[in-house]
Structure formats: structure tokens, C-alpha cells
Amino acid sequence: MSMRIGLFGGTFDPVHNGHISIVRSFLKSGYIDKLWILLTPVPPHKLNKEHVSYDHRKEMLRLAFQDVEHVSISTIEQTLPKPSYMVQTVTHLAQKYPEDEFSLCIGEDSMAQFHTWKDYRKLLEHCQLLVAERPDTDHSEVGSEIMEKVQFIPHDPVEASSTEIRELLNSGNDPQLLLPDRVYSYIKEHKLYQ
């Protein structure tokens, strides 16, 4: 049976409450049956900027989403050539799962940058764009070839970023409110980002 699969990519270094909340919004939208989280080893825009190992990031994702139905963690990008361009990943998945329909799940701020992604036109041949609304995002520059592939979904943003969490930990402050409990405990137990 054909499935509608949402793809949500990132370095998740570490995963935080903002990620969980946006994933829930994508699932609630009714446009996808399940969501795959693509854990990226080396994203093109963050070369040499990995802070903790792939396995630690994978384990934190597993802990963060273990109670969220219809979510799986995909490590496919670890097996593909680096850097992990989304066009490469999605072309690979579309060939591997020809029955299924893929949607790229992104925030409205990422949509405003989408025209800078490698081979974005080719990418749009394989997938729709599900875009979580973010108030006050300027996307006046986004071309019609992108906009016609976009489906907006409602979302109440949760302010958090992995950068902020790393900085808090690095300076001896406590990011507990920005993280799922199990991820917070894992970071403490393994003394990550210190």
C-alpha cells in the first residue's frame, strides 16, 4: 500500500523540544501517514561542525521520539556519499520506495532559503513541501516554481535551538527546559557538550 511519508532532516546536535513540537505539527496536519527523521552526518552548510558523535545523536533522537507514534529515525544518510545533499537523499529514497509519496517537512524560515539548496528543482520533482508556519517570515523572494509545491501547516513555534543548548551547557548553565527529560539525563550521564 502506498504511504505518504514526511522527511524531516537535521543534525540534531542535540534534538530539542522545538524539533518535537514541529514533528507533532507535521503529523497532525493530516498530509502524511508517517514521518522519517533523517539524521545527517555532515550537512553541506555545517562542514566540520559536528559536536557529538553520530551514535550519541541517534540515541538522543531515539529517546526523544520513543513515545511519538508514526515516527522513525532513519540513518540512510550515513550510508550515502557526503556531504548529505537533500537532493541525493530524496532521489535515493524515491528510487528505493517507488510506491510511496514523499514530502519534505521544513520550517517557513528554511523555505525562504530553499532556492539556495543544491538542485532544488530536481528535488521538487520527487517531493512536495510541507512548511510549518512561522509568523513574520519574509518569503517574498520565493519563486512560483517553489510556491506551487508548498502546503502550509499550522504550527505554534517553540523557541529553542541546538546552538543555544550547546552554549548553555558549555558555559555551565542549565538547558533543562529546552529538552525532553530523557535527552537531558542522557546528556548529563555522558557529559556531552561540556
Binding site for ligand ATP (CB under 6 A): 10-13, 18-19, 22, 106-107, 110, 157-163
Taking CA atoms, 187 is separated from 5, 12, 14, 52, in Å, by: 30, 13, 9, 10
Query: Toward ligand ATP, which CB reaches closer, 61 or 93?
Result: 61
Query: Toward ligand ATP, which CB reaches closer, 80 or 158?
Result: 158
**Residue 56 C-beta: closest distance to ligand ATP, Å:** 14
Query: Toward ligand ATP, which CB reaches closer, 2 or 68?
Result: 68
**Residue 29 C-beta: closest distance to ligand ATP, Å:** 14
Question: Could you tell me if 63 and 54 are in contact, meaning their C-beta atoms sit under 8 angstroms apart?
Answer: no
**Residue 164 C-beta: closest distance to ligand ATP, Å:** 7
Query: Toward ligand ATP, which CB reaches closer, 99 or 159?
Result: 159
**Residue 32 C-beta: closest distance to ligand ATP, Å:** 15
Query: Toward ligand ATP, which CB reaches closer, 106 or 129?
Result: 106
Q: How many CB atoms lie within 10 A of CB 107?
A: 17
Strand pairing of 71-74 and 101-107? unpaired
**Residue 68 C-beta: closest distance to ligand ATP, Å:** 15
Cell 524531516 appears where? 8
- Helix 17-28 vs helix 54-65: crossing angle, to nearest 10: 50
Integer Cα distance of 11 and 60 in angstroms: 11
Residue 62 grid cell: 531515539
Comparing every residue's Cβ against ligand ATP, the nearest one is 18
